[in-house]
């Protein structure tokens, strides 16, 4: 093609057709510019398609992460509801007019296990990759803001629940009666019964009330925090689904 253009120019010069030569040269320049613009447009289109594919891959990865977090929260909320129900049961029984010290001993000795469940971390690997690579710019402003707000809420949830757990663990340190946990050396037998027979009644009442209250506080705090976070996860998930 270049040889053909060159030959045409040479023929025009040889034939001394200067005006036609300049017109032809201008036309050739225009064609070259158009060719460059088309090439740039094609390249831009290709880049846009790559970015669209990359964004879709990120969307699906984010949705997968969010679904995992929702599943974890759903399982945890079931446990929390059971634990709250158990605490309410303790409260109801100990508040009955006929409740006695033996009622408290039965609960503290056999029923109050002191367990708690929690989420240590959320699935944020995809979001962190978006931030570190700058690819979060592939999403529109609304989605970017929603993803950042969600991540902030996840971190706040971890902090809030950890504070409640730390307060409970501080209470457990001074609580002598949590003998049902796996680490307990003595769980039955004469020594076990002897320990409970010699418990200071006033001390047990006071200590059980305090540790049970802190244990219940984990459940109340966690239920509120995880329920609110779950709503944010659902909203973000629905937003991402709309953009698929």
The 3-class secondary structure across 7-38, one letter per residue, is HHHHHHHHCCCHHHHHHHHHHHHHHHHHHHHH
Task: Please check whether residue 49 is in contact with residue 134, taking contact to mean a CB–CB distance below 8 angstroms.
Answer: no
Quick one: pLDDT band at residue 190, thresholds 50, 70, 90?
Answer: confident
Task: Please check whether residue 62 is in contact with residue 240, taking contact to mean a CB–CB distance below 8 angstroms.
Answer: yes
Q: Of 120, 105, 201, 206, which is closest to residue 158 (Cα–Cα)?
A: 120
Q: HSE-up of 96 (CA within 13 Å, CB side)?
A: 13
Q: What totals of helices (H) and strands (E) does the chain contain, helices first? A: 7, 0
DSSP 155-190: HHHHHHHHHHHHHHHHHHHT----TTSTT-S--SSH
For 99, other C-beta atoms within 10 Å of its C-beta total: 13
Please say if the pLDDT value at position 214 is more than 60.
yes
Q: What pLDDT digit, counting tens, does each position of 88-128 carry?
A: 999 999 999 999 999 998 998 889 988 899 999 999 999 99
The string over 120-149, giving b where at least 16 C-beta atoms fall within 10 Å of a residue's C-beta and e elsewhere, is eebbbebbeebeeeebbebbeeebeebbee
- For residue 66, the SS3 value is helix
Assessment of whether the complete model's pTM goes beyond 0.85:
no
Task: Please check whether residue 100 is in contact with residue 165, taking contact to mean a CB–CB distance below 8 angstroms.
Answer: no
Q: What pLDDT digit, counting tens, does each position of 143-175 carry?
A: 999 999 999 999 999 999 999 999 999 998 888
Alpha carbons 106 and 176: distance in angstroms, whole number: 15
- Residue range 214-221: mean pLDDT, rounded: 96
Instruction: Locate the domains of the chain by residue range.
Output: 71-242
């Amino acid at each position: 093609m270049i040889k053909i253009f060159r030959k045409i120019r040479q023929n025009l010069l040889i034939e001394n057709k200067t005006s036609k030569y300049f017109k032809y040269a201008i036309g050739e320049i225009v064609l070259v510019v158009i060719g460059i613009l088309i090439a740039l447009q094609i390249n831009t289109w290709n880049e846009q398609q790559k970015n669209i594919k990359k964004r879709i891959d990120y969307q699906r990865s984010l949705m997968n992460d969010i679904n995992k977090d929702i599943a974890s929260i759903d399982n945890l909320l079931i446990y929390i509801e059971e634990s709250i129900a158990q605490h309410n049961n303790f409260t109801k029984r100990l508040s009955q007019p006929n409740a006695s010290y033996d009622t408290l001993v039965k609960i503290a000795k056999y029923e109050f296990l002191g367990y708690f469940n929690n989420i240590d971390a959320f699935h944020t690997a995809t979001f962190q990759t978006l931030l570190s690579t700058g690819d979060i710019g592939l999403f529109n402003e609304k989605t970017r803001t929603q993803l950042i707000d969600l991540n902030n809420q996840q971190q706040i949830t971890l902090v809030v629940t950890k504070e409640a757990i730390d307060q409970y663990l501080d209470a457990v340190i001074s609580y002598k009666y949590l003998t049902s946990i796996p680490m307990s050396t003595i769980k039955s037998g004469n020594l076990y019964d002897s320990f409970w027979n010699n418990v200071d009644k006033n001390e047990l009442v006071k200590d059980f009330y305090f540790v049970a209250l802190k244990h219940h506080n984990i459940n109340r705090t966690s239920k509120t925090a995880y329920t609110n976070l779950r709503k944010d996860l659902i909203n973000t998930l629905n937003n991402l689904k709309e953009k698929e």
